[in-house]
């Protein structure tokens, strides 16, 4: 058993050593912050987006980096998962993207404000959070991506994959069906009509009218019709 003097010495020495370790680790953490947060990529636009995010109380519904409410989706990796175009359309008219489902407020952001918020979410997604949030273990389709037709329109990745899957990539849980083999199920004219106005083809559909221009529709129809 320790004497009273020895116990006091042990306590003081342990406290000093522990406190010293805490100080060293804190200094080391602060040194790593610029690199882990990609501070050099923190643009003026991203900073304005952060202020908009706070001013509109986005964390009242969403979580970001694990903090906030849990009513709406987690946003830490939303830029990586959804892309700039999808985020822009959600910020423009949430109800239009998911008719009858989304309860997100339509904030009437200006074009610049939307780009600022996108820049902020892009920066957040690039922060090194030591593996947070973990990527889900998704079952990959048997169809190899290499077997898909080339010259894939950029909108496939930017928009379509947010709700659909193709070749094992994209949204595995919907709400849209997989696009694999869609060219065998539907003809060119049907695909054209569907992309022009889904509600007209199938009243009550969850597919939003993306108001695509003719050139984009032609490009999509040409590609989707080859998915046999």
For residues 183 and 114, membership in a common domain is answered with no
For residues 118 and 52, membership in a common domain is answered with yes
For residues 114 and 157, membership in a common domain is answered with no
Q: Tell me what the mean pLDDT of segment 155-159 comes to.
A: 81
For residues 90 and 164, membership in a common domain is answered with no
Assigned domain for 131 exists? no
- pLDDT value of position 141: 43
Assigned domain for 135 exists? no
Q: Is the pLDDT higher at 148 or at 25?
A: 25
Assigned domain for 159 exists? yes
Assigned domain for 144 exists? no
Domain count, the chain: 2
Is 180 in contact with 227 (CB distance < 8 Å)? yes
Q: What is the DSSP letter of 149?
A: -
- Domain of 219, CATH number, reads 1.10.760.10
Assigned domain for 194 exists? yes
- pLDDT value of position 160: 86
Measured CA to CA, the distance from residue 4 to residue 212 in angstroms comes to 81
Q: pLDDT tens for residues 88-146?
A: 988 998 877 766 666 788 899 999 999 999 999 999 999 988 888 877 554 444 444 44
Assigned domain for 214 exists? yes
For residues 114 and 184, membership in a common domain is answered with no
Which residue pairs from 190-193 have beta carbons closer than 8 angstroms and sit at least 24 positions apart in sequence?
A: 191/220, 191/221, 191/224, 191/225, 192/217, 192/221
- Of 76, 105, 125, the last residue of a domain is 125
- pLDDT value of position 70: 87
Assigned domain for 23 exists? no
For residues 89 and 161, membership in a common domain is answered with no
Instruction: Check pLDDT > 90 for residue 75.
Output: yes
Domain that holds residue 55: 41-125
- Of 110, 125, 140, the last residue of a domain is 125
State the alpha helices, DSSP H only, in the chain.
4-36, 44-55, 78-82, 84-92, 94-97, 111-125, 154-158, 182-185, 188-196, 198-201, 214-224
Q: pLDDT tens for residues 169-219?
A: 877 777 788 899 999 999 999 999 999 999 899 988 878 888 888 999 999
Instruction: Check pLDDT > 50 for residue 222.
Output: yes
Terminal Cα-to-Cα distance of the chain (whole angstroms):
80
Is 153 in contact with 223 (CB distance < 8 Å)? yes
For residues 52 and 114, membership in a common domain is answered with yes
- pLDDT value of position 142: 45
Assigned domain for 189 exists? yes
Measured CA to CA, the distance from residue 22 to residue 4 in angstroms comes to 27
- pLDDT value of position 167: 84
Q: Tell me what the mean pLDDT of segment 77-87 comes to.
A: 85
- For residue 148, name the pLDDT band (cuts at 50, 70, 90): confident
């Amino acid at each position: 058993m320790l004497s009273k003097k020895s116990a006091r010495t042990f306590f003081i020495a342990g406290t000093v050593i522990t406190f010293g370790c805490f100080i060293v680790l804190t200094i080391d953490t602060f040194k790593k912050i610029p690199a882990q947060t990609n501070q050099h990529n923190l643009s003026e636009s991203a900073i304005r987006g952060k202020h908009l995010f706070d001013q509109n109380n986005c964390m009242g519904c969403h979580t970001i980096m694990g903090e906030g409410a849990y009513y709406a989706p987690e946003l830490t990796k939303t830029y990586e998962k959804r892309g700039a175009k999808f985020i822009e359309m959600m910020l423009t008219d949430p109800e239009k993207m998911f008719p009858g489902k989304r309860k997100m407020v339509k904030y009437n952001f200006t074009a610049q404000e939307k780009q600022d918020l996108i820049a902020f979410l892009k920066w957040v997604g690039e922060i090194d959070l030591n593996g947070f949030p973990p990527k889900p273990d998704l079952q990959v389709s048997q169809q190899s991506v290499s077997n898909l037709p080339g010259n894939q329109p950029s909108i496939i990745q930017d928009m379509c994959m947010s709700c659909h899957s193709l070749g094992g990539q994209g949204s595995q849980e919907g709400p849209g069906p997989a696009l694999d083999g869609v060219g065998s199920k539907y003809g060119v004219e049907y695909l054209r009509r569907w992309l022009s106005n889904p509600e007209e083809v199938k009243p009550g559909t969850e597919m939003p009218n993306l108001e695509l221009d003719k050139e984009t529709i032609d490009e999509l129809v040409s590609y989707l019709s080859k998915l046999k």
